[in-house]
Structure 1
Amino acid sequence: MSKTNNNSINGATTNHIDSIISTTTCDCEPRRPGKATVLALGKAFPSQLIPQECLVEGYFRDTKCDDSAIKEKLERLCKNTTVKTRYTVMSKEILDKYPELTTEGSPTIKQRLEIANPAVLEMALEASLACIKEWGRPVGDITHIVYVSSSEIRLPGGDLYLASGLGLRSDVGRVMLYFLGCYGGVTGLRVAKDIAENNPGSRVLLTTSETTILGYRPPNMARPYDLVGAALFGDGAAALIIGTDPISQIESPFMELNFAVQQFLPGTHNIIDGRLSEEGINFKLGRDLPQKIEDNIESFCRMLMEKANLKEFNDLFWAVHPGGPAILNRLESCLSLKADKLQCSRRALMDYGNVSSNTIFYVMDYMREELKGGGGEEWGLVLAFGPGITFEGILVRSLLQ
């Protein structure tokens, strides 16, 4: 990105934002900030795309594993995930450079971070640039950045590297959200909403970026959940611009963030358990996770729906983080949703796998395509679930009617 272009806009940015505020402020009463809206969305992925039917052979070949029992189990898991394609940073070239990654008991956290930190940043930059291009305004008009990742560890954090790489102003407000897991994208959306609504004229860049490098295990070292991860998880990044009071003829909002709630389920801390060790991140996933979500999801959704006096689940559109097909199936059954209601979530899972915090934004991108035709539902829910067990939900309104 050209630094000349960035510098030419930085000096005018404050005046530009002041002019936005002045045109939307009423002299007769304190200004009431408008609702936050999603103004643009961008995605990015590593270059390596793996069809699911090719994953097992390549995985075992590259790691030189010949355990037929593990291979058969992974083949079954791959078929059950409904995933068709995934992107991944991990490659044969990386394994050749770091053979210790396939050696059981080797302390490899240093090597994993050498791979993950730059890979996550590269994807974050690419997704952010794609988002800013769609937004159509100068990068210097970004006032805040919210950065979400469970895939890197360093000080300073990825938020500063991202801000510097994009050429953002040095006084840009930065928030860093690390190690939240699958609900992190919706948490970032909630935080960006709060920033936008409490800072009139602000424009918030929300960027998420994830890779499976920290949790990677070759077949001979894999525990049961590692095999599930090998069959389900992918890599990628996403970015959104959030702001209130969109500028006519310049910005194109497509979704209003109406009301947001986070809730944890007491006594469920150990159902999704992740620990950082010298060998990377180790995960344990309780078999009762889908049931816990099913038992609590209806009351959580109704709490959000009450804010707009909504009663019927099938009168909404649904953007749900696809943690796996079992969770989507339980949600569909529990709420008696029509078969097409979770289609965007199933499509994202099929095309990208579970990419942790990013995946909800791939779902929202597909939802945007559906809503563009008009005539669809006005109100919807954006939902994600993760460690805690934590529920994140946002009541949203389509602006594409």
Structure 2
Amino acid sequence: MTSSFHAPSDTHLDILVGSAIFADGAAEVIVGADPDTSTERPLFHLVPASQTIIPESNGIVGQTREMGLTYYLSKSVLQVIADNIVEWMTETLGIIKHWNTLFYIVHPGGPTILQGLEEKLGLEKQKLRASRHVLSEYGNMWSPSVLFILDEMRKTSMEEGKATTGEGLDLGILFGFGPGLSVDTVIRRSVVIPRG
């Protein structure tokens, strides 16, 4: 995202930190309905989606200015996510309480966010494997990160001979974090990987 790249500044160290944390990335996805499976190969099905802005969180503040996108990152982001993740999961998924039965596409804001989410939900280490891989290979690319993670999960599922695009599981959840702090939540259903 070149609009957020800025030269180092002696007066704004947060710009330097932001340039070190965020990376460039581009991704696209085609969203459709009622696919013709004789010619189309869907990768995931979208189920419900929601967006929440955490009141008074101010975890990520972004503004568009003449010099491009400027942003401020609060140290409270990790705590806000950790304090709210179980509630988001319960609101989104209802009665499902066995979080390890799902696959996860989690926006990799950083290793501490992934670790905090794992701890709060009691997730097995491999549950965030795709998110960790994308973070280590590409960094935090803002919005495109989750699409890179979806692609990584699809490829790994195929390479490992899993039954579905969601690491062999049927149902999963995507979390995207953004300014505010805002949280986008999308439930996804994986598709069966065709063999032969």
Shift of 1:220: 4.1
Shift of 1:294: 0.6
Partner of 1:329: 115
Partner of 1:365: 151
Partner of 1:219: 8
- 2:128 is the alignment partner of 1:339: no
What SS class does the counterpart of residue 48 from structure 2 fall into?
Answer: strand
Report the CA distance shift for 1:371/1:275 in structure 2 as closer, same or farther (over 3 A): same
Query: What percentage of aligned pairs have identical amino acids?
Result: 37
Partner of 2:44: 255
The answer (yes or no) to whether the contact 1:371–1:400 under 8 Å persists in 2 is no
Deviations 1:292-344 (A, max 9, x none): 011001110122222xx532110001000101111111111111111100010
Task: Say which structure is richer in helix.
Answer: 1
Shift of 1:397: 0.8
Q: Report the Cα distance in structure 2 between the residues aligned to 1:369 and 1:329, rounded to whole angstroms.
A: 23
Partner of 2:78: 290
- Compute the RMSD of aligned alpha carbons: 1.7
Shift of 1:380: 0.5
Partner of 1:277: 65
TM-score (norm 1): 0.44
Q: Report the Cα distance in structure 1 between the residues aligned to 2:134 and 2:80, rounded to whole angstroms.
A: 23
Query: Which ranges in structure 1 are unaligned for 5 or more consecutive residues?
Result: 1-210
Shift of 1:222: 6.2
Shift of 1:354: 1.0
Q: Report the Cα distance in structure 1 between the residues aligned to 2:104 and 2:59, rounded to whole angstroms.
A: 25
Shift of 1:278: 3.6
Question: Looking at CA atoms only, which structure, 1 or 2, has the larger radius of gyration?
Answer: 1
The answer (yes or no) to whether the contact 1:371–1:398 under 8 Å persists in 2 is no
What SS class does the counterpart of residue 276 from structure 1 fall into?
Answer: strand
Q: 1:264 aligns with which of 50, 53, 56?
A: 53
Partner of 2:183: 391
Query: Which ranges in structure 2 are unaligned for 5 or more consecutive residues?
Result: none
Query: How many residues align structurally?
Result: 187
Shift of 1:365: 0.3
One-letter amino acid matched to 1:324: G
One-letter amino acid matched to 1:335: L
TM-score (norm 2): 0.88
The answer (yes or no) to whether the contact 2:9–2:15 under 8 Å persists in 1 is no
One-letter amino acid matched to 1:230: S
One-letter amino acid matched to 1:227: L
Shift of 1:370: 3.1
Q: 1:374 aligns with which of 127, 143, 162?
A: 162
The structure whose RCO (Cα within 8 Å, separation 6+) is larger is: 2
